[in-house]
Each structure stands twice: as C-alpha cells, then as structure tokens.
Amino acid sequence: MVDRFIEVSLDKRGVSCTARLLDDRAPVTCKAVWDALPLGGDVYHAKYARNEIYALVPPFAPEEPPLENPTVTPIPGDLCYFTFSETQLGTASYGYESQAEHRGRATVVDLALFYERNNLLINGDAGWVPGIVWGSVVDGLDRMADACQDLWRAGALGETLNFRRA
C-alpha cells in the first residue's frame, strides 16, 4: 500500500504539520479516519496526559475500531484515537463547559496529537486509558509543539484542531 498523509492544523494560529497514517499497524482505524476526513473541532489541551492536544468529534466509523496498536505511553508525533461514552467525560473535574459540542452524545471520539515526551495515559477516575496510535507526524512537529505550548499558556478558546487529507 502507498503511504497516506494528512495535515493536522491549529487553524487560528496558522500552524500545521504532516503525519503519515500507520496503515500497517492500525489498518481499521486508519481506514475509518481516512474515509471520514476532514475532521476537527474545538481544541483542548490535556489535563492528565501532559503534552496532548485533542478534538472531540462525533463517531464516524460504521463500527468503533478495535484496540489495535495500543499505547499508554505515546511519544512525540503520535496521533491517537480514543472512544469515550458521554458519561465518562461528564465529570465536572474535566472542565468541559456545559455547552461543549460533545455533551449529550452517547459516544465521543477523541482525536489527539502528542507533541512532547513523558506522556502517561492514566486517569485518576478511570485508571489506564489506552489509545490507538494511527498516525505519526513526519514534518512540522517543532512548529506544532511551539503552538501547543502557546495554546497551554495563552488558552484554547476560539482555536480548532483539524485533520485533512494532505
């Protein structure tokens, strides 16, 4: 199979990077994402996992992908896929505003980009939270990491995280 690439962007900040889909390691997830592109939404910076930004989107796969190519220790440049129920994200400590777009959805898909080292996917309420690694940034991670740090310090309001075919 020919390598497939996507652009991951923070549109308000005008920053993007390019990632290669890991079709050989997560074929079901890669197919589901590729077929649904473009995807995106309001960006959030992780509270628990450390160096992660993500968007919460409606489910888009005919069936949720199996836990293929899982990790609890994502590395810089990993793109991860998570599935949550609305109640899993409903705890007030997570900080989602009452009008957040994912509220009221039975299933919520989390598409994440990890931009720096030392991430650990453990949640105080739920324990280990393995994610599916379905892509790897191959160009522009340094620029994106700088923008992610700015997002952490300056705030995420009005910013979106988007995934498009490159």
- What is the three-class DSSP state of 51? coil
Give per-residue pLDDT as tens, 101-112: 666 677 899 999
Give per-residue pLDDT as tens, 94-150: 666 666 666 667 789 999 999 999 999 998 888 999 999 999 999 999 999 999 999
Phi, psi of 81, deg, nearest 5: -120, 130
Task: Provide the pLDDT for residue 93.
Answer: 63
Query: What six digits make up the tokens of 58?
Result: 């409606």
Query: In sequence order, what E strands does the chain have?
Result: 5-10, 15-21, 39-45, 52-57, 70-71, 78-85, 107-114, 122-123, 127-128, 131-139, 160-165
> For strand 131-139 and strand 15-21, is the pairing parallel, antiparallel, or unpaired?
antiparallel
Task: Provide the pLDDT for residue 97.
Answer: 60
Q: Looking at residues 4-23, what average pLDDT do you find?
A: 98
Answer whether residue 91 shows pLDDT above 70: no
> Does 3.30.390.50 match the CATH number of domain 5-165?
no
Q: Can you tell me which residue has the tokens 């077929």?
A: 35
Answer whether residue 152 shows pLDDT above 70: yes
Provide the whole-model pTM.
Answer: 0.93
Domain ranges of the chain: 5-165
